[in-house]
Chain A
Amino acid sequence: MTTARTSLIVAALALTFDASPALGQQVDLAGMWSATLGNHEELPLRGDPGVEVGEYVGIPLNDAARQHAETWTPTMHSLLEWQGRPHPVTYAMRAPRPDFRMGAIVDPKTERLIAYTITGLFGRADRTIWLDGRPRPSKYAEHQWQGFSTGEWIGGGLKVTTTHIKYSFVHRNGIPLSPYAVMTEYYWPHGDLLTLAIIVEDPVYLTEPLVRTSTFRRDPNLTIPALQPFEVAEELPSLEKGQVPAYPLGTKHPEYAAKHNLPFEASQGGAHTMYPEYAKRLEELMPASAIPSASATR
């Protein structure tokens, strides 16, 4: 049932976008886009420490992904091979503050748009969205943090499909993303605003598509900082060569639920926690005194 619900949500996005065959480019997305209009679900991602360890609410993760997250420790980021990593494309468009420049690569003779580039994301996780109909790379080709993206004009916006993403994460708290994940994005401009819908499917770690939206505002005064490559340095001299930090199997992280007065079950995520019906379950789990009244939330 929940899968069908997600399908309907996705379908609604698609219908909103107009599923008629591509009519060619109708709008130019090139320019500076500011992420100052972050919505409530993005805000925790934008500050420190970001999404918390043990926080899986609203993520349709399966048991395998949960086990991965429970045994994952942020100390991993101190490993030499981890320090220079940007965020994967599935996360980079959401956090920490994904202001970006959309640049256009144009054929100088025909003025045909060949590709858009997206630059300015955290860690310079720069992207290229190919619009010239080129084929996807071989399944034996190297995967990238930004994956391989192709775009097509659908109605009044751009649909982007990204494959070849590295084995990475859904959230920076150990929820994994397999190298077989596919991300579908819809860039939908309305005047100076841009709605971006991101749909992530992962046959290994997600039981349903993860659908999220963000809003950007066109801002000609936005500046993109200069290239900031990460410098790799020995951060944990006590770590022996080959040692990989991890929590033992069976570890639970109740801190997030306790901090936010949530039942532990709710913090564990799963597709059912994405839907409004879960509010009833929350009422069953939480003492009445812990549930904010309607007036208190206004």
Chain B
Amino acid sequence: MTAPTAARLLAAFIVLAWVATGPLVAQQLGPRTAKPAYDDGNVEALQVQGNVHLVAGSGANVTVQVDPDGLLVVDTSVVAMSDRVLAAIRTISDKPIRHIINTSADEHHTGGNESLSIAGRNVSAGIGGQGGREPARLEGAPVIAHEHVLHRMSGLKGEPARMPYGVWPHDTFYTNKKQLYFGGEVVEMLHTPAAHTDGDLIVWFRKSDVVATGDVFSTVTYPRIDRARGGSIQGVLDALNQILDITFPAFNNQGGTLVVPGHGRICNESDVAEYRDMTTIIRDRIRLMVEKKMTLAQVKAAGPTRDYDGVYSTPEWTGEMFVEAIYADLTSARPR
């Protein structure tokens, strides 16, 4: 074989290998990895642990606690998905919904309040009488929330009232904590003031060892600091550290207390710590630049979220928006 022929054969082999190995590589490695789509309308139910389940995929996480006599539901997602959420809940239990808890006033956490309430039953119906409650609600499951949630949804804080008013909570409290006993365990509603908003709750199922956090914690977005609704970066950090005070791992920093975020996957302490670390580090970076009198444009140009954007930036709440919220908070007349 002459040298040129050998060279051509070698070249042909390389080209063939190039062409042939493309599909082979794809077959061997599978599709390129990518961040999966969450809250994509494919609703599914999965057990968290103990009596607590997660209904995910509808627009916001819905946490369901099972009692022999009924269900307690944390957050109700968007109204358009209520049928699918209810169908998923029915795969967990056919018992009536007895209590609904809202972790904030956000529409994507409360939009299904009315439809899920109507699908449930008030455990106190017929005992307490009208009691000042709107009659239709007597037959539905009561919606519990911090009073700031009701204030915001009903227009008492200057925002347009949410309609229909059937989505409003009607069992509210103003203290830092509310407890009830359901599903064989204490359920604690802990107010985390001025975090994502001013009406946030985290819900702790003490025996099941599960915490539902609402939007102070998410595995798919940066913390949404809704300053117009009383949110603040320090409040978010306080809430995350409060969750870390509650959680404890079983072994190798996983298992133990499980955490249902407002959006995304089931977590445990180390995931919350990762999120707390990220939020703290970005806040500290921006604070340092604020102390140097840098403008918002200069802060953005420095890329304080660059290393986390691939995990937490979304079109709805980008890294830049997160920076803007922190910058505004740190430079406002009333930073926390």
Contact residues of A with B, CB < 8 Å?
Answer: 4, 7-8, 10-11, 13-15, 19, 63-65, 67-68, 71, 76, 79, 81-86, 123-125, 138-145, 159, 161, 166-167, 176, 178-182, 184, 199, 201-205, 209, 229-230, 241-244, 246, 248-250
Which residues of chain B come closer than 8 Å to A201, judged between CB atoms? 29, 32-33
Whether A242 contacts B241 by the Cβ 8 Å rule is yes
Which residues of chain A come closer than 8 Å to B251, judged between CB atoms? 84, 229
Give the residue name and chain of the B residue nearest to A143 (CB).
Answer: B265
C-alpha spacing A4/B21, complex, angstroms: 10
Which of A8, A141, A229 is B21 in contact with, Cβ under 8 Å? Answer: A8
C-alpha spacing A64/B258, complex, angstroms: 29
Whether A180 contacts B29 by the Cβ 8 Å rule is no
B60 to chain A, nearest CB (A): 12
Whether B219 contacts A179 by the Cβ 8 Å rule is yes
C-alpha spacing A159/B24, complex, angstroms: 14
C-alpha spacing A75/B309, complex, angstroms: 24
Interface residue B280 (Cβ < 8 Å from any Cβ of A): yes
Interface residue B284 (Cβ < 8 Å from any Cβ of A): yes
Total number of B residues with any Cβ neighbor in A under 8 Å: 60
Question: Which residues of B, 243-266, contact A by the 8 Å Cβ criterion?
Answer: 244, 249, 251-254, 258, 264-266
Which residues of chain A come closer than 8 Å to B17, judged between CB atoms? 8, 11
Give the residue name and chain of the B residue nearest to A154 (CB).
Answer: B28
**A246-B284 contact given A85-B252, A125-B252, A142-B267, CB 8 Å threshold:** yes
Whether B307 contacts A161 by the Cβ 8 Å rule is no
A33 to chain B, nearest CB (A): 21
Whether B25 contacts A10 by the Cβ 8 Å rule is yes
Whether B288 contacts A178 by the Cβ 8 Å rule is no
Interface residue B159 (Cβ < 8 Å from any Cβ of A): no
C-alpha spacing A191/B187, complex, angstroms: 58
Whether A64 contacts B271 by the Cβ 8 Å rule is no
Which residues of chain A come closer than 8 Å to B258, judged between CB atoms? 142
Question: Which residues of B, 277-336, contact A by the 8 Å Cβ criterion?
Answer: 277, 280-281, 284-285, 288-289, 302-304, 306-311
Which residues of chain A come closer than 8 Å to B44, judged between CB atoms? 138, 140
Whether A85 contacts B270 by the Cβ 8 Å rule is yes
A169 to chain B, nearest CB (A): 11
Whether B24 contacts A139 by the Cβ 8 Å rule is no
Interface residue B56 (Cβ < 8 Å from any Cβ of A): yes
Interface centre among B33, B44, B56, B238 (most CB of A within 10 A): B33
B156 to chain A, nearest CB (A): 32
Which residues of chain B come closer than 8 Å to A140, judged between CB atoms? 38, 44, 46, 54, 56-57, 264-266
Whether B310 contacts A242 by the Cβ 8 Å rule is no
**Can you pick out 19 interface pairs between chain A and chain B where the beta carbons lie within 8 Å of each other?**
A11-B24, A15-B21, A19-B24, A64-B308, A65-B307, A81-B244, A84-B252, A138-B46, A140-B38, A140-B46, A142-B267, A143-B267, A143-B271, A166-B271, A167-B311, A178-B310, A181-B33, A229-B251, A230-B252
Query: Chain B, 224-237, contact with A by CB distance < 8 Å: what is the 0/1 string?
Result: 00000000000001
B19 to chain A, nearest CB (A): 11
Which residues of chain A come closer than 8 Å to B57, judged between CB atoms? 140
C-alpha spacing A176/B238, complex, angstroms: 25
Give the residue name and chain of the A residue nearest to B245 (CB).
Answer: A241
Interface residue B94 (Cβ < 8 Å from any Cβ of A): no
Contact residues of B with A, CB < 8 Å?
Answer: 17-18, 21-22, 24-25, 27-30, 32-36, 38, 44, 46, 54, 56-57, 219, 237-238, 241, 244, 249, 251-254, 258, 264-274, 276-277, 280-281, 284-285, 288-289, 302-304, 306-311
Whether B252 contacts A202 by the Cβ 8 Å rule is no
C-alpha spacing A76/B307, complex, angstroms: 17
Which residues of chain A come closer than 8 Å to B54, judged between CB atoms? 140
Whether B307 contacts A64 by the Cβ 8 Å rule is yes
**A246-B249 contact given A67-B306, A205-B310, CB 8 Å threshold:** no
Which residues of chain A come closer than 8 Å to B311, judged between CB atoms? 167, 178-180, 204
A37 to chain B, nearest CB (A): 25
Whether B273 contacts A8 by the Cβ 8 Å rule is no
Whether A249 contacts B302 by the Cβ 8 Å rule is yes
C-alpha spacing A138/B55, complex, angstroms: 12
**A67-B307 contact given A140-B265, A201-B33, A248-B285, CB 8 Å threshold:** yes
Whether B254 contacts A145 by the Cβ 8 Å rule is yes
A140 to chain B, nearest CB (A): 4
Which residues of chain A come closer than 8 Å to B265, judged between CB atoms? 139-143, 179
Which of B266, B303, B309 is A142 in contact with, Cβ under 8 Å? Answer: B266
A56 to chain B, nearest CB (A): 13
- Please give 5 more A-B residue pairs, beta carbons under 8 A apart, in addition to A167-B271, A167-B274: A7-B25, A10-B28, A76-B277, A182-B29, A249-B289
Give the residue name and chain of the B residue nearest to A184 (CB).
Answer: B29
Give the residue name and chain of the B residue nearest to A167 (CB).
Answer: B274
Give the residue name and chain of the B residue nearest to A4 (CB).
Answer: B18
B154 to chain A, nearest CB (A): 33
Whether B281 contacts A246 by the Cβ 8 Å rule is yes
B290 to chain A, nearest CB (A): 13
A69 to chain B, nearest CB (A): 8
Which residues of chain B come closer than 8 Å to A144, judged between CB atoms? 254
Which residues of chain B come closer than 8 Å to A10, judged between CB atoms? 25, 28-29
Give the residue name and chain of the B residue nearest to A83 (CB).
Answer: B253
B45 to chain A, nearest CB (A): 10
Which residues of chain B come closer than 8 Å to A4, judged between CB atoms? 18
Give the residue name and chain of the B residue nearest to A200 (CB).
Answer: B33
Interface centre among B254, B269, B303 (most CB of A within 10 A): B254
C-alpha spacing A15/B24, complex, angstroms: 9
C-alpha spacing A140/B241, complex, angstroms: 23
A153 to chain B, nearest CB (A): 14
